[in-house]
Amino acid sequence: MATNDLNKELSKKTNIFGLKVWEVVGIGVGVFIISILCILSLCLTSFNKKSKKSSPPKFPLTQIPSHSKDIKAIHITTTTDHKKPTTTQTGKFETNNNNYSGESGSLFHPLSYGYGSQSGDEGSSGTVTTTTMYRRSTSPTTTTMTAPSPLSGMPEMSQLRWGYWFTLRELDLATNLFSEENLIGEGGYGVVFRGRLLNGTPVAVKKIFNGQGQAEKEFRAEVEAIGHVRHKNLVRLLGYCIEGTHRMLVYEYINNGSLELWLHEGMGENTYLTWEARMKIMLGTAKGIAYLHEAIEPKVVHRDIKASNILIDENFNAKVSDFGLAKLMDANKTHVTTRVMGTFGYVAPEYAYTGLLNEKSDVYSFGVVLVETITGRDPVDYGRPPKQVNVVDWLKMMIGSRRCEEVVDPKIIGVGGRPSTRGLKRVLLVALRCVDPDFDKRPKMGQVVRMLESQDHHHHSL
């Protein structure tokens, strides 16, 4: 009975357009639900607008692959023909293979984590003394110059804690739209242009090739490895540009060539490095590498120390360049295992055979460069007799035969700068320790610096 009464009541017509009671109730419930949904939608829309206003700007990272600590490609090149280098910079500035060609790391560390500049004891600015370190005449000249900050006068809003965020327009203006006349080098993953900033500072701009995974890795490695590092013996990365698909790195411009160019071609007729200049360059190189290994955290293993990656400024200071293959290592790690990448003739044997990498791999490569600097010979030269193809093996054979003085580059003798027998033996000992096949027996770069400084002090005290 109760059910029938309820049905009758719900079936009665109302004064609202003659609708039945149950129809009115249904419409009311529907309107209520729709109202609730509208209110919720308005609240969510308002909340999203506030979130967008308060959130920081997002950078275009869609073109950058996720970070990987491991290197996925093998990259071994040979440098045996110095008359036709892979890439050269016009004038006195030279690159080979990947000079100024920049792998691993979080690209925006300077912004996300607030890296500050880490400076070596020997900074890159201040008053310096210039002395002639090559021989074309017998009278050295000395001048004094002051090196200002290369970023002074640039807009502050674009300056990072460690450098400068360049726009594509700024670099277009600096390089005259990347004109061919400003092209100074080309590597495996990019091309390098000479440029001049609005404040007059000369720079080298490396334009990374698009669409190459290893090129992106080299770009990341360069930014992470030396973006926040300052040392007089490391090429300074002034900043970078990320705009659309463009990836560019901006370095200080070094206009006095590379060690490879000076050793094997000279910088003019009868112009070669003296023994003193060579030792100054090698000491500076050792200081730069020691800083990477022992003075910063995480430490940096360069992985491609070679003569063409040691640039020379007008004061004959060494500038280690090309950090595109660099690996970052935590202090608690003794080594990492990775694919072999580097340049044939300079790669440490344990790294070449097993992929075992640590800072002693750089020590070996430095030792090869030191041998190359002493002898003036390529690390590997197939144009020589079989026993002389590998310069390290040849040097060991010569020393074993007590023919030390015969290993000195004849060009040194030609410019009247032959080292003393004692001084030569001390440097040869450093080189032999660095290229020891057992990496545990190789010295640390800090020890190499002290040994070379001791040799330098002994030379000046004679």
Task: Name the residue with tokens 């016009």.
Answer: 90
**Residue 211 backbone zone (phi > 0: left; psi -120 to 50: alpha; other: beta):** left
Phi, psi of 210 (to 5 degrees): -80, 150
3-state secondary structure at position 118:
strand
Cis peptide before 150 (omega within 30 of 0): no
Structure token pair of residue 341: 């990448």
What is the torsion angle, in degrees rounded to the nearest 10, for the CA atoms of residue 209, residue 212, residue 215 and residue 221?
A: 140
Structure token pair of residue 131: 């002395």
- 10 Å CB burial of residue 331 (0-12, 13-18, 19+) is exposed
Give me the DSSP letters along 129-161.
EEE--EESSS---EEEEEE--TTTTS-GGGB-S
Our answer to whether residue 121 is catalytic in this structure is no
262-299 burial code (b ≥16 CB/10 A, e <16):
bbbbebeeeebbbbbbbbbbbbbbbbbbbbbbebbeeb
Alpha helices for 175-250 (secondary structure H): 213-226
Which residues are CB-contacts of 57 (< 8 A; sequence separation ≥ 6)? none
Find the helix or strand (DSSP H, E) in which 76 lies.
Answer: strand 75-77
The Cα–Cα gap between 434 and 259 comes to 19
Angle between helices 359-375 and 275-294 (to 10 degrees): 180
441 is in an annotated binding site: no
The Cα–Cα gap between 407 and 403 comes to 7
Is the Cβ–Cβ distance between 254 and 313 less than 8 Å?
yes
Task: Kindly name the residue from 81, 121, 172, 304 that is annotated as catalytic.
Answer: 304
The Cα–Cα gap between 195 and 202 comes to 6
User: What is the C-alpha radius of gyration for the chain, rounded to an integer number of angstroms?
Assistant: 32
Is the Cβ–Cβ distance between 340 and 351 less than 8 Å?
yes
The Cα–Cα gap between 301 and 327 comes to 5
- 10 Å CB burial of residue 169 (0-12, 13-18, 19+) is exposed
**Within 13 Å of residue 407, how many CA atoms lie on the same side as its CB?**
28
Which residues are CB-contacts of 274 (< 8 A; sequence separation ≥ 6)? 133, 134, 135, 412, 415, 417
Residues in the annotated binding site for ATP: 207
Catalytic annotation, residues:
304
